[in-house]
Every structure is written in C-alpha cells, then in structure tokens.
C-alpha cells in the first residue's frame, strides 16, 4: 500500500494566502488602481488585494534573487578576468546577462496577466529598471506550416513550436547580445505576423511566458547536450488550477470574446460570433476537451514540479496557495 508522502520531504515550502501576504513586509505599492485596470486580462479579475497580497511579495522575492545573481555575475566576471568584473565598458555585442523568468501554465489560467503585473512591479525596483516581456506564441510555426504538417489541431503542443528558433533567441539574450529579435504573434489573426518582430535589447529582466516553457525530453544515452528552454531560466513560475476550473474559465473567455473580438469580420474566429449561445458554448467545450485539455494533461501539467514557484488558484481566480522550492 502506498504511504502518503511526509510533507517534510517535499522540495517545496507551501504558504497560505495569508502567510504569503506577510512576506510583503514594507514593500511599497507602486501601482495605481488605473495601472491595475490596464494590466488586467479579459474578465477583470485582478484586484488591488491580489497585487498587494500575492504579487508584491513575489516581486520582493524576485528582486532579492536578481540582486544576488547580479552580484554573482560580477564575481564570475572578475574571476574570468572579463571587463564586466573590472568596471570597464564591454565590447559591442557582449554585455550584462539578463535575469530570465519563465511563466508556464494552462490556457486560460492567467499567465499573461501575471506576466504583465510582474513586469510592471519589477520595473519599479531600482536594480531592474528595464524589464521586457516575450510570449512563446511568436515562436509557433505559421498556420501555413502547421496545416502542411497536419498540426493545426495540435497548435500549442510542443511540436507546433519552432524550438530551434526559440532556443537561439534565448541563447542570444543570455549572452547579452544587442537588439535580439523575436517573431510577433496575433491572437486576432490566430497566426504569426509575417515580417513583424519585437526587439529585446539587453534588459535587466526578461519574462518569457508560454504553455510549454518547462517542457523537457528524454536525455540521450550518450550524454550529449540537448538544451531545453528552461535551461535559460533563472527562475520559473507555474500557475495552477483544477481542470474543471480551467474549463470553466476557458468557456467564459470564449463566450466573452464571441461578443467582442470575434465580431470583427477580419478576426480568425469571426464565424463563432454567428453561433447561437448554446452552439458557441458547445464549440468552446469541444475545443477545450479535444485540444487544450489533452495538451494540459500530456505536456503542461507534468512540468509543474519543475517550477521554482507554484501559484495555486481557486475558482474565483485568486491565488489561494503559494509553493516555493526550497534552496
């Protein structure tokens, strides 16, 4: 008979919402109600209390981690006799190593909102004035390629991404390269935008948000190096919620978009705006159960335990529990 795992053996220390909130200490609130409204997602669930009790303590923790990593980088540069360690200017094309934060989780769990809030809070810390945000959606293969390869029904699965392009982007960022470019994705057109790029130029912090950013594969038996996206992360966050809750949130979001963005004739999903209420709900459930749920159970959820921090959400969209990996 399987015995329950002793909590003391867990690699995580888990905090209730109230316990986590106390770790804010004297961190000032740097966002206004107008800022919070601007940063919120589609369904207006982000509250001032959520920022104060969850995201301010998290920004404080990340600021401490970044400061420690910056100090370690200076020490390593000094050891290697690099200009960074001597306070001199670096050569063009080489520079400080950005701190990279990965954010993973299911469709509809709120990754984008979390990423935007952390970006805004971290940019207000004195040691990290430049914080950039990139989503891995831009590294999806274009729809034309997905159709040719029979992958349109697996869009968002690991095989639908141009992994070599994403790894090259992260490698150049980590090397301190100037003006590194990433493809741009449009949820309105449901496709990568041709010849449109976003430029990342030596940020203090780069936040990388995506479904499968903590994904790994089986290591080769010969021990040869196979880089994973998460190899470039200094800190990783997984946003978690029960499957039935995620389904409810996805359907709610779909129904909201049906009355807003989907109504534009140029929208990829315009056809869904013409469905009946029941027909639209049935279609949303079908998409969730045939695409998003299988991706969650097979590819995304198994990566949860690889995260440094897990934000566990309740049905009201608020974080109820925080698990932080022990050092």
| pLDDT tens-digit map of 146-155 | 999 999 999 9
Q: H-type helices in 175-235, by residue range?
A: none
pLDDT of residue 42: 63
| Higher per-residue pLDDT: 92 or 215 | 215
Q: How many domains does the chain have?
A: 1
The answer to whether position 111 is within a domain reads yes
pLDDT reported for residue 327: 87
142, 183 Cβ separation under 8 angstroms:
no
Domain assignment present for residue 4? The answer is: no
Q: What is the pLDDT of residue 222?
A: 78
Report the pLDDT value the prediction gives residue 87, as an integer from 0 to 100: 41
The mean pLDDT value for 218-225 works out to: 75
For residue 1, is it within any domain? Answer: no
Structural domain span for residue 181: 12-325
The per-residue pLDDT for range 264-314, each reduced to its tens digit, is 999 999 999 999 999 999 999 999 999 999 999 999 999 999 999 999 999
Percent of the chain at pLDDT > 70 equals 92
pLDDT tens by residue, 60-99: 999 999 999 988 888 888 898 876 544 434 444 445 789 9
Q: Would residue 107 count as lying in a domain?
A: yes
321 located within any domain: yes
Mean pLDDT of 10-32: 95
Residue 194 pLDDT greater than 60, yes or no: yes
Domain membership of residue 215 (yes or no) is yes
At residue 153, the pLDDT reads: 94
| Residue 30's pLDDT band (cuts 50, 70, 90) | very high
Q: How far apart are CA 291 and CA 296, in angstroms?
A: 9
Nearest to 227 by CA among 177, 166, 273, 280: 166
pLDDT, average across residues 117-123:
97
pLDDT at 3: 60
> pLDDT > 90: what percent of the chain?
79
With a cut of 70, say whether residue 159 has pLDDT above it: yes
For residue 5, tell me if it sits in a domain. no
CATH of the domain at 146: 3.40.50.300
Class of residue 172 by CB neighbours under 10 A (exposed 0-12, middle 13-18, buried 19+): middle
Cα diameter, the chain: 68
Q: Which stretches of the chain are assigned E, i.e. beta strand?
A: 12-16, 99-105, 131-135, 180-186, 191-200, 205-209, 235-240, 309-313, 319-325
Q: What are the tokens at 116?
A: 């935007």
- Domain membership of residue 7 (yes or no) is no
Work out the mean pLDDT of the chain and round it to a whole number.
91
Q: How sure is the predictor about 43, in pLDDT bands with cuts at 50, 70 and 90?
A: low
Which of the four pLDDT bands, split at 50, 70 and 90, describes residue 44?
Answer: low
> Of 188, 198, 233, nearest to 214 (Cα)?
233
Please give the average per-residue pLDDT across 15-38, as a whole number. 94
Angstrom distance (rounded) from CA 9 to CA 7:
5
Least-confidence region, from 186-190, 200-204, 223-227? 223-227
Tokens of 15: 């905090």
Give the pLDDT score at 40.
85
């Amino acid at each position: 008979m399987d015995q329950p795992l002793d909590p003391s053996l867990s690699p995580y220390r888990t905090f209730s919402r109230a316990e986590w909130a106390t770790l804010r200490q004297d961190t000032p609130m740097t966002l206004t109600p107008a800022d919070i409204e601007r940063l919120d997602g589609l369904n207006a669930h982000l509250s001032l209390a959520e920022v104060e009790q969850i995201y301010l303590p998290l920004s404080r923790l990340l600021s401490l981690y970044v400061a420690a990593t910056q100090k370690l980088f200076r020490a390593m540069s000094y050891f290697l006799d690099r200009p960074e360690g001597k306070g001199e200017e670096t050569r063009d094309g080489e520079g400080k190593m950005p701190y990279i934060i990965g954010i993973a989780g299911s469709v509809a769990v709120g990754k984008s909102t979390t990423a935007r809030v952390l970006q805004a809070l971290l940019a207000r810390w004195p040691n990290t004035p430049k914080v950039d945000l990139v989503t891995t959606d831009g590294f999806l293969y274009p729809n034309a390629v997905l159709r040719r390869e029979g992958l349109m029904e697996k869009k968002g699965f690991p095989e639908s991404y141009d992994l070599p392009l994403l790894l090259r982007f992260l490698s150049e960022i980590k090397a301190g390269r100037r003006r590194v470019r990433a493809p741009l994705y449009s949820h309105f057109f449901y496709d990568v935008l041709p010849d449109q790029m976003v430029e990342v130029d030596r940020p203090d912090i780069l936040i990388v948000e995506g479904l499968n950013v903590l994904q790994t594969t089986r290591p080769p038996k010969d021990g040869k190096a196979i880089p994973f996206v998460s190899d470039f992360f200094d800190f990783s966050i997984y946003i978690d919620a029960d499957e039935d809750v995620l389904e409810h949130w996805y359907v709610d979001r779909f129904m909201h978009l049906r009355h807003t963005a989907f109504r534009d004739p140029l929208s990829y999903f315009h056809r869904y705006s013409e469905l009946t209420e029941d027909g639209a709900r049935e279609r949303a459930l079908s998409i969730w159960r045939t695409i998003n749920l299988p991706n969650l159970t097979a590819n995304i959820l198994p990566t949860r335990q690889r995260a440094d921090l897990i934000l566990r959400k309740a049905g009201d969209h608020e974080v109820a529990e925080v698990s932080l990996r022990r050092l």
